[in-house]
Structure 1
Amino acid sequence: MKKRVILGMSGGVDSSVSALILKNQGYDVIGLFMKNWDEKDEDGVCTATQDAEDAMRVAFELGIPCYTINFEKEYWDRVFSYFLDEYNKGRTPNPDVMCNQEIKFNAFLDYALNLEADYIAMGHYARVKEENGEYLLLRGIDKNKDQSYFLSRIGQKALSKTIFPIGDLTKEEVRKIAEEANLYTAKKKDSTGICFIGERDFDKFLDKYLLATPGDIIDVDGGKIGKHTGLIHYTIGQRKGIGIGGIKSGEPWFVVGKDLKKNILYAAQGEEHKALYSVALIGEEPKWISEKEPVFPLQCTAKFRYRQKDIPVVVEKSDDKLYVKFEYPVKAITPGQVAVFYDGEICLGSAIINKAIPLDEKYNFN
């Protein structure tokens, strides 16, 4: 009897090729499109509707069933509310990480298992390996597309039931497979940005849900250099759109800190300014993929943004928080983002960045 796999189909080329691979491997494949958000963009178009149609068309081409499941309530309660709460705290969250933790590998998984699925599958560039009864999350073969960063907060139950059909492929190979199979999505461009924002103006989107209170921009030496439009509109390390044009001309300005109580945005001039750099961070809500704590101090590598290269670190634990010391100073550590830990190809888990420890204590704006 064929093993049943329920595949999350997004309407993109990655999940389309995943469906083709699973079918060719002899699985009983059922596509499921997750409707997590329902709102039209600035052109009056709901991109989820188009994506669902694309997923259905590919499923028809492959001769597999595909259905739509509505997770809007779960997404609002578990992801979007978290997103808004983090911005209200002056932090910069990563909703894609939380979507994987709470929706794709939680709500979706439970739904699929209730339909008597043997496995779920996703079109992520990552791999799963079983070793001595433990399931390991490995980086995808394509280092430019590896998505283990976004999967760093899922656990053993999810990994034991998950297949990543394209984890051993490069994006170029995925496109080639899609074109050779003449799939409808073969040349569809990759989606960009946060799923519920898409290509829209980010600040305008935030202003629909959160109160933005204008205030002063202060340079790191204490001088007032401008006005900000609301702290929710800025993130640590930001260069563009700060609105300090013409002040102390020369090198560009960067956001280096926020004071929520005084509603002050701090900025420094020059991309190598000391105020941009940190030597360590404090992480909260650690999640270990093995679901077992490592032995501390933990020597490993970490990345603090998706596209960032790995940095050697030493991780210590104090109470329920992690102290992560860097081998060398790191730029633009951003509270609310995710610190993801690795041992070579293995993703160990992650923690939410609570606070950056500055290179120079006089630039501590936390």
Structure 2
Amino acid sequence: MNKRVVVGISGGIDSFYTAFLLKERGFDVMCLYINLFDNHEVFLRAKMLSDLLGAKFEFYDAIKEFKKEVIDRSINMTLSGYTPNPCAFCNMKIKFRILEKIRSDSNYDYISTGHYVKIFHNSTTKIFRGFDEKKDQSYFLALVPSIYLKNAIFPLGNFTKKYVKRVMEEKYLFWKDISSSQDLCFVKKGYKKLIQDKCGVKFGKFLYKNRVVANHWGSYLYTLGESRGLGHKEPVKLYVESLNHEKNEVYLNTREFCYKSLIVVADLNFFNKLPNRCLVQIRYQAKPVICDIHFRESKLYANFHEKVFAPTPGQIASFYSLDNRELLGGGIIIGTD
């Protein structure tokens, strides 16, 4: 009997190629479309792609769960002064939990998605960066509990995005006319516009060296390290150094003042025991840096060996082995120094 796998199919090229590969390798494939928000066009494409493979297609409505665990949580964090990572929350609370649930309920063997990562299962689950350094998505899995990944396989971990795109466009010409999915799937006009529509305009001030240098429409619309669209006319390039949401003020400074030596991390999740020294990555595609780790009152303190530009509360800190290959775990940044 063929091994059976539940593939999370989004209607995009990566999840389709995952299902395609597994089908070619002899797996009995179920394509599961997890409905996060109303998008009939994407749903129909996912159904068409499943039919094209001759795979079983199932639908799971997660709109209410997604709104609570991802959209509302992200908005609430933003209004509390954090810069959230909705994609990581979705992987942690929605996608992999549902895939594992459907696998278990349907008595299938594995789950799979189109993530560019590698995973190995022995006595424990170990996750490694994907072969494609530019596309590696291990950072976004740092918060996912290992119980949801214990039956996961990731075929794309050994490929580059460029290769996947070329192979699929050669075999199925229609992929040339389908654009890549956006980072925030539930936002059409931009995350700032979503927050502004939710909370309205709150006029405030940009300050640099205790001087008002421009006005803004709400401190919650900005994040640490941001430099574009600040509206000032200073002769130097300025960045958001800090925020005061109570006063609705955004403090600007030159780049060198935005570097930090330490982060405080909570909501911890580990795949392997964290050594006293490892690498930490504080945003997607950022350069990992060496840090020393210590714990205090269920929080993790990571002291950088070299200062890091604008680590941002609310973002994910992903920890890696010193050779920068194995993902050891992660958490949410709640403070800096």
TM-score when normalising by structure 1: 0.87
Give the Cα–Cα distance (whole angstroms) in 2 for the partners of residues 180 and 264 of structure 1: 52
2:9 is matched with which residue?
A: 9
Aligned 1:121-200 pairs, distance under 5 A? 121-131=112-122, 133-182=123-172, 184-185=174-175, 188-198=178-188, 200=189
Deviation at 1:94, TM superposition (A): 0.1
2:269 is matched with which residue?
A: 287
Q: Once the two structures are superposed, what CA deviation does each residue of 1:288-338 show, in whole Å capped at 9, x if it has no partner? A: 124xx535xx21111111011111111111111111111111111111101
Do the aligned residues in 2 keep the contact of 1:13 with 1:186 (CA within 8 Å)?
no
1:258 is matched with which residue?
A: 243
Paired residue secondary structure (2:155): coil
Do the aligned residues in 2 keep the contact of 1:14 with 1:174 (CA within 8 Å)?
yes
Q: Once the two structures are superposed, what CA deviation does each residue of 1:160-214 show, in whole Å capped at 9, x if it has no partner? A: 111111111111221233134326436633212311114x133222122234422
Higher helix proportion (structure 1 or 2): 2
Do the aligned residues in 1 keep the contact of 2:244 with 2:250 (CA within 8 Å)?
yes
Do the aligned residues in 2 keep the contact of 1:57 with 1:184 (CA within 8 Å)?
no
Do the aligned residues in 2 keep the contact of 1:236 with 1:334 (CA within 8 Å)?
yes
2:212 maps to 1:224: yes
Give the Cα–Cα distance (whole angstroms) in 2 for the partners of residues 82 and 334 of structure 1: 17
Provide the identity percentage: 30
Residue in structure 1 matching 2:332, options 338, 352, 355: 352
Q: How many residues are matched?
A: 335
Give the Cα–Cα distance (whole angstroms) in 1 for the partners of residues 199 and 101 of structure 2: 32
| Change over 3 Å in CA distance of 1:66–1:183 after alignment to 2 | farther
Deviation at 1:16, TM superposition (A): 0.9
Gaps of 5+ in 1: 39-47, 358-366
1:236 is matched with which residue?
A: 224
Residue in structure 2 matching 1:336, options 314, 321, 324: 314
1:320 is matched with which residue?
A: 298
Paired residue secondary structure (1:265): strand
Structure 1 segments (4+ residues) deviating >3 Å: 183-187
2:32 is matched with which residue?
A: 32
2:72 maps to 1:84: no
Gaps of 5+ in 2: none
Backbone CA RMSD of aligned residues: 1.6
Paired residue secondary structure (2:15): helix
